[in-house]
């Protein structure tokens, strides 16, 4: 595991083959209940209008809609191909399709009004953000006062045995080289704390588990 971060592309998942492989992996995560939907809800993001950054094939947000009442969701992805996949998957969820919309844009310049969302969440996209301070400030801008956010990702300094286990567990195997570059680009807790202190957020908590890192917080009025 490299000591220093090796930044990854900020172009998202592009191309028919890569999109199909990633969709296959995330569908498997959903079917095995490996997604962080319950953690997001337990963190208090369980009502109103939410924004998901980098939804990929959309399963995390769709499962969030499925498990919450009276909620709606907007998904923002930099990849047009992936946004189309998410729209197609939303139709498979039937009535939930009317509660979600997807847009294509760079999260550094979100096409949304100030104070628009009750919640913002994302999983697995943080390590791809070219200007993370700028994106956190955009999250601050689009959140309503008191609105909450949940950002989770891999952790670069995880134990080598845990890293090996993740690689072996991830299928299809074609995704494994991309997983390695994502791990190399991921943050440590100290790095993320330092980064967040440069943003507009004053209320946040960084926590880490065996495999990942999570930051939660809310928008204050100060």
Q: Give the pLDDT confidence score for residue 11 in this predicted structure.
A: 58
Give 155-175 pLDDT, tens digit per residue.
999 888 887 887 777 777 777
**Nearest alpha-carbon partner for 56 in 71, 35, 41:** 35
Q: Which CATH architecture has domain 16-216?
A: 3-Layer(aba) Sandwich (3.40)
Q: Give the pLDDT confidence score for residue 10 in this predicted structure.
A: 59
Strand 203-208 relative to strand 212-218, pairing: antiparallel
Q: In what order do the strands lie in the sheet with 212-218?
A: 100-104, 72-77, 49-53, 117-123, 143-154, 212-218, 203-208
Q: Give the pLDDT confidence score for residue 20 in this predicted structure.
A: 85
User: Picking from 20-29, 30-39, 107-116, 133-142, which range would have the lowest pLDDT averaged per residue?
Assistant: 20-29
- Residue ranges per domain, the chain? 16-216
Cβ pair 56, 84 in contact under 8 A? no
Q: Give the pLDDT confidence score for residue 161 in this predicted structure.
A: 85
Does 31 have pLDDT greater than 70?
yes
Does 17 have pLDDT greater than 90?
no
Give 95-151 pLDDT, tens digit per residue.
889 999 999 999 999 999 999 999 999 999 999 999 999 999 999 999 999 999 999
Q: Give the pLDDT confidence score for residue 2 in this predicted structure.
A: 46
**Percent of all residues in the chain with a pLDDT value above 90, rounded to a whole number:** 70
Tokens 């990849």 sit at which residue? Answer: 79
Two structure tokens written together for 118: 């009750």
**pLDDT tier at 221, thresholds 50, 70, 90:** confident
Give 57-100 pLDDT, tens digit per residue.
999 999 999 999 999 999 999 999 999 999 999 999 998 899 99
DSSP helix/strand/coil, 148: strand
pTM of the model: 0.91
d(Cα 7, Cα 96) in Å, to the nearest integer? 36
């Amino acid at each position: 595991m490299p000591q220093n971060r090796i930044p990854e592309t900020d172009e998202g998942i592009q191309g028919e083959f890569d999109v199909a492989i990633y969709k296959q992996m995330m569908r498997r995560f959903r079917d095995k209940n490996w997604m962080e939907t319950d953690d997001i809800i337990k963190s208090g993001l369980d009502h109103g209008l939410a924004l998901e950054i980098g939804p990929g094939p959309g399963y995390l947000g769709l499962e969030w809609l499925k498990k919450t009442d009276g909620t709606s969701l907007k998904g923002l992805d930099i990849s047009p191909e992936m946004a189309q996949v998410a729209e197609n998957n939303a139709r498979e969820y039937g009535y939930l399709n009317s509660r979600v919309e997807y847009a294509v844009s760079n999260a550094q310049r979100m096409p949304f009004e100030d104070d628009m969302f009750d919640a913002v969440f994302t999983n697995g996209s943080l390590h791809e953000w070219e200007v993370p301070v700028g994106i956190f400030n955009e999250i601050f801008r689009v959140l309503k006062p008191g609105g909450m956010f949940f950002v989770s990702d891999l952790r670069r300094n995880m134990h080598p045995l845990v890293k090996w286990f993740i690689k072996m567990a991830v299928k299809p195997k074609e995704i494994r080289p991309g997983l390695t570059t994502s791990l190399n680009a991921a943050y440590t807790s100290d790095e993320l704390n330092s980064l967040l202190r440069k943003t507009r957020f004053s209320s946040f908590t960084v926590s880490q588990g065996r495999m990942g890192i999570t930051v939660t917080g809310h928008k204050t009025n100060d």
